[in-house]
């Protein structure tokens, strides 16, 4: 279980998160929704170690995570994507996948000289893993294309694949479907469900309510730094407070935003 408990986060005098608590279980997809500026990305940044909260704790399976230590948190098996994909545009898709693994696992330089056999075996393993993940993503035929030549939607799929290279316990995904065409969103949805079925923890920030309803087991609604509701997608769609503050129209006529 990945838990953030009673998180307070200030930017100067502005309180961006006010006693925010969320919990995400293995083998489930947890949605984080709310208006722009409500604190969704900030919360992922606290969990991922980018921002140090003024109060609160983050735990994985009961063990406290080091706050403000993104590298350490990645090593503990928590990976995240950003609203704007972070890729090496002038490397191929395949090279990005291999770099994704190195970033998260850390390379032991000494092994390179002292245990070349081990390094070669790891390299083979990483290559096999990259091929299998790209196949799962429906992107194997793109392996030798430059990452910079991919569409925005394909770049987002690639960043998810790069995350998976390090076999993370938890994936934190910031608006993966924004600006992505429906066919690629469908591919994302299948991929997210496969991550869930493997027993991973997935936290998903998304505005597309159809996608949220389709993939999420539980949803948290943030508004101005507060959690204003928590429940199943059906409960959230029927919640009067959520409809007033975020969905803005009766639940049965809500279209994907
Ligand atoms: N690095 C920062 N410095 C100052 N204010 C920030 C910073 N990041 C976000 N904020 C502010 O915190 C609030 C929450 O932002 P954010 O978490 O990005 O919202 P969301 O992802 O829900 O759209 C916003 O008012 C935003 O302007
Ligand atoms: Mg955001």
- Is there a domain that residue 95 lies in? yes
Q: Is 37 in the pocket of ligand 1 (CB under 6 A)?
A: yes
Nearest ligand to residue 34 Cα: 1
For 204, the enclosing helix (H) or strand (E) is strand 201-205
In a domain, 56, yes or no: yes
Q: Work out the pLDDT band at 94, boundaries 50, 70, 90.
A: very high
Q: How many domains does the chain have?
A: 2
The answer on 4 and 65 residing in a single domain is yes
List the one residue out of 162, 183, 171 whose CA is nearest residue 92. Answer: 162
CA gap 242, 245 in Å, rounded: 5
Considering only 147-156, 158-167, 208-217, 242-251, which range has the smallest mean pLDDT? Answer: 242-251
- Ligand 2 midpoint to CA 45 (Å): 10
Tokens 């604190």, located at residue:
39
Token pair, residue 224, equals: 């101005």
What confidence tens digit (pLDDT) does each residue in 225-242 have? Answer: 999 999 999 999 988 888
Residue 34 CA, ligand 2 centroid: distance in Å: 9
Res. 17: pLDDT tops 70: yes
pTM: 0.89
Cβ of 38 below 6 Å from ligand 1: yes
Q: Is residue 162 scored above 50 in pLDDT?
A: yes
CATH code of the domain covering residue 56: 3.40.50.300
Nearest CA to ligand 1 atom 16: 39
pLDDT at 108: 65
Give me the pLDDT at residue 251, please: 42
How much distance in Å is there from the Cα of 16 to the middle of ligand 1? 7
Residue 173, CA distances (Å) to 19, 32, 127, 254 in order: 22, 10, 24, 23
Show the domain range for 64. 1-77+169-257
Residue whose CA is at the smallest distance from ligand 1 atom 9? 42
- 11 and 123 share one domain: no
User: Residue 10: is its pLDDT beyond 80?
Assistant: yes
Q: If pLDDT is split at 50, 70 and 90, which confidence band does 52 have? A: very high
Three-state DSSP at 155 gives helix
DSSP β-ladder status, 201-205 and 28-33? parallel
Q: Work out the percent of the chain whose per-residue pLDDT is above 70.
A: 92
C-beta separation of 58 from 43 below 8 A: no
Closest atom of ligand 1 relative to the 222 alpha carbon:
22
82 lies in some domain: no
Mean pLDDT of 48-60: 96
- Beta partners for residue 14, in sequence order: 11
């Amino acid at each position: 279980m990945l838990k953030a408990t009673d998180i307070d986060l200030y930017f100067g005098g502005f309180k961006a998160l006010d006693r925010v608590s969320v919990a995400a279980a293995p083998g489930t997809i947890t949605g984080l929704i709310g208006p722009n500026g409500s604190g969704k990305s900030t919360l992922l940044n606290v969990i991922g170690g980018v921002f140090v909260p003024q109060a609160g704790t983050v735990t994985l399976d009961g063990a406290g995570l080091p706050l403000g230590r993104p590298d350490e948190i990645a090593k503990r098996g928590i990976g995240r994507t950003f609203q704007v994909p972070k890729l090496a545009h002038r490397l191929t898709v395949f090279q990005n996948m291999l770099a994704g693994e190195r970033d998260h696992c850390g390379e032991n330089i000494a092994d390179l000289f002292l245990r070349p056999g081990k390094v070669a075996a790891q390299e083979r393993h990483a290559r096999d893993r990259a091929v299998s993940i790209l196949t799962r993503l429906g992107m194997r035929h793109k392996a030798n294309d430059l990452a910079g030549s991919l569409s925005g939607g394909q770049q987002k799929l690639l960043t998810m694949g790069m995350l998976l290279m390090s076999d993370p316990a938890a994936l934190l995904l910031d608006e993966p479907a924004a600006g992505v065409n429906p066919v690629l969103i469908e591919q994302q949805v299948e991929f997210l469900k496969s991550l869930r079925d493997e027993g991973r923890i997935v936290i998903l920030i998304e505005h597309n309510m159809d996608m949220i309803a389709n993939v999420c087991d539980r949803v948290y609604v943030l508004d101005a730094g507060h959690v204003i509701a928590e429940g199943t997608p059906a409960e959230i769609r029927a919640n009067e407070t959520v409809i007033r503050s975020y969905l803005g129209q009766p639940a049965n006529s809500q279209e994907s935003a």
